[in-house]
Amino acid sequence: MRGVKTIARGALVTALAVALVLLVSGCVGDTPQSVNDPRADNAQKIWDLFMPIFWLSVGVFVIVQGIVIVALIRFRRRPDSPVPRAIHGNTKLEIAWTLAPALILAAIAVPTISTIADLAREPGPEALTVRVVGQQWWWAFEYPDSGVVTADELHVPVGRPVHLELKSKDIIHSFWVPKLAGKQDVVPGRTNRITFTADTPGEYSGQCAEFCGAKHANMKFRVIVQTPEEFEAWLAQQQQAAVEPEPGSIEAQGKEVFMSSGCVGCHTIKGTDAKGQLGPDLTHFGSRGLIAGGVLTNTPENLKAWVHDAPSIKPGQPGRPLGMPAFTGLTDEQVNALVAYLESLK
């Protein structure tokens, strides 16, 4: 019996230690998806609201648990304890414990409501509008003022408000870039909005934060914050038509494979016959750092593996063939040409 108790106690201590390590690991600042290192006004305002509420909660926790522990020890039953005296009501105490939580809740509500109103404010005319379309299981980014459409990577300029119009093509997703902006649900049939102004150039990872099916965890993206000059150069380059391969080159063979296989059914390459709408626009595919819904870096090897057998990289739902299918019918030579063509689309 004692052996079982020792094992149970050991298991409990181990479980608590693991839980504590996981809890404390959330405090590390410079991890890609940490909220405690904000790099935009939106995330900063949420952080500035979160911290005072957190410390207030710690205070409440310590006081309440302290009173419970003192009461448990000081007033515990002893063998010679007399039967306790029955007490009915204590007006002062009841007023105190009604008033105290009401004041604490008011202290939390006032800054919370003002932050919500602040974050919901419409930006000025200088803002950059980007339409974000969430879908199983990737993100499309459309720049309505310049006609640019891309996927998996959102480019924005530093120091300028970015106004995102969030839409969904299918079910509910949630747009979240921990270092730049708080979560916002992306709901079919309506447009939600987020505005943020990034303050530091760099790359920030984002993630769908609402469970949306088998590949939810693989619905990632990246926000690339650039200097205004870099951003304008990127935008100008994305507005160009797709690069046309040299006749007779491996890229030209790849284009032929693309246009004669299933690819055209789902993807658009501007300036060609490919006008599919189901998958990402590939007009400037070669200029992206991430592919496959943000799961893979864009290298010829990864793209080859993706074309050959996408479902094994992003496993889907049995019976729901959403996402990129496996192109097992293509020869190695055809896939190599296809990869060369797509990577040439800078």
Q: Which residues are CB-contacts of 29 (< 8 A; sequence separation ≥ 6)?
A: 36, 37
% helix / strand / coil in the chain, to the nearest 5?
45, 20, 35
Rounded Cα–Cα distance for residues 219 and 58 (Å): 34
- Residue placing its CB nearer to ligand CUA in the complex, 209 or 310: 209
Among residues 33 and 57, whose Cβ is nearest to ligand CUA?
Answer: 33
Q: How far is the CB of 317 from ligand CUA (least distance, A)?
A: 13
Our CB check for ligand CUA shows the closer of 160 and 216 to be 216
Sites for ligand CUA among residues 175-214 (CB under 6 A): 208, 210-212
Assess contact for 198 and 159: CB atoms under 8 A: yes
Q: DSSP code of 200?
A: S
Residue 213 beta carbon to ligand CUA: minimum distance, rounded to whole angstroms: 7
202 in Cβ contact with 39 (< 8 Å): yes
Interface with ligand CUA: number of residues (CB under 6 A): 9
Of 140 and 269, the one with the shorter C-beta distance to ligand CUA is: 140
Least distance from ligand CUA to the Cβ atom of residue 34, Å: 20
For ligand CUA, the closer CB: 136 or 238? 136
Minimum CB–partner distance for residue 201 and ligand CUA (Å): 27
- The single residue among 173, 220, 270, 314 that binds ligand CUA, judged by CB under 6 A, is 173
Q: How far is CA 112 from the centre of its chain?
A: 23
Q: Is the peptide bond before 137 cis (omega within 30 degrees of 0)?
A: yes
Q: Is the dihedral of CA 292, 221, 159, 128 positive or negative?
A: positive
Beta bridge partners of 148: 143
Select 157 or 316, whichever has its Cβ closest to ligand CUA: 316
* CB 198, CB 156: distance < 8 Å: yes
166 forms part of the interface with ligand CUA (CB under 6 A): no
Shortest Å, Cβ 188 to ligand CUA: 12
- Closest to ligand CUA by CB, 219 vs 330, is 219
Q: Which is nearer to ligand CUA, 186 or 263 (by Cβ)?
A: 186
Query: What is the smallest separation between the CB atom of 171 and ligand CUA, expressed in angstroms?
Result: 8
Q: List, in sequence order, every beta strand (DSSP E) within the chain.
A: 128-135, 138-143, 148-151, 153-157, 162-168, 173-177, 181-186, 192-196, 202-208, 220-226, 290-291, 296-297
Whole-angstrom distance, CA of residue 196 vs CA of residue 181: 7
Encoded one letter per residue, x for contact with ligand CUA by CB under 6 A and - for no contact, window 115-134 reads -------------------x
Give least dist CB 184 to ligand CUA, A: 12
Residues 6+ away with beta carbon under 8 Å from 149: 140, 141, 142, 143, 268, 281, 283
Burial class (CB in 10 A: 0-12, 13-18, 19+), 343: middle
- Residue with Cβ nearer ligand CUA (173 or 270): 173
Half-sphere exposure in the Cβ direction for 310 (13 Å, CA): 17
What's the closest the beta carbon of residue 287 comes to ligand CUA, in angstroms? 24
User: Smallest distance, Å, CB 207 to ligand CUA?
Assistant: 8
Cα four-point dihedral sign 66, 71, 74, 77: negative
Which residue of 216, 235, 286, 326 would you call a contact of ligand CUA, by CB under 6 A? 216
Q: Which residues are at the interface with ligand CUA (CB under 6 A)?
A: 134, 137, 173, 208, 210-212, 216, 219
